[in-house]
Amino acid sequence: MANVGEVEIVSGQRRFEGMTAQLLQENEGQYVQLKILNWANMVTERRVAPTKWLKPDRQGTRVNFVGLHSTEEIHKALSELSGFIAEAKMAGHWPDLTELLEATRKARTE
């Protein structure tokens, strides 16, 4: 439960303006890298997890998200991100950052 004066995020939507349809078409690797970086920031800094990435357009990519309110929810969100990173790595879009992700997970839950 949030303390008095704190706001607890339940759900929402935001737009990542740099993640446009044009970028996806011209440089899919860079688009995927931005998605991973934004996803990691959402989980580790904002304490929210994406539930749906919408189709990019010329204004960017919108993403629906929910708030993370427990350690278990954070672990699940990081596990989903780790899976996406593995897929991106197999597709040649991202270097192996498994160790960095594990260190981030440990630091955030201690």
* Mean pLDDT for the chain overall: 87
Cα separation, 25 vs 99, whole angstroms: 30
**Distance between CA 25 and CA 18 in Å, rounded?**
13
pLDDT at 54: 98
> What would the two tokens of residue 39 be?
């996803």
Mean pLDDT, to the nearest integer, of 28-43? 93
Tell me, what's the pLDDT at 34? Answer: 93
Mean pLDDT to the nearest integer, 8-18:
93
DSSP state of 63: E
User: What is the average pLDDT across 53-74?
Assistant: 96
User: Which residues, at least 6 apart from 73, have a Cβ–Cβ distance to it below 8 Å?
Assistant: 49
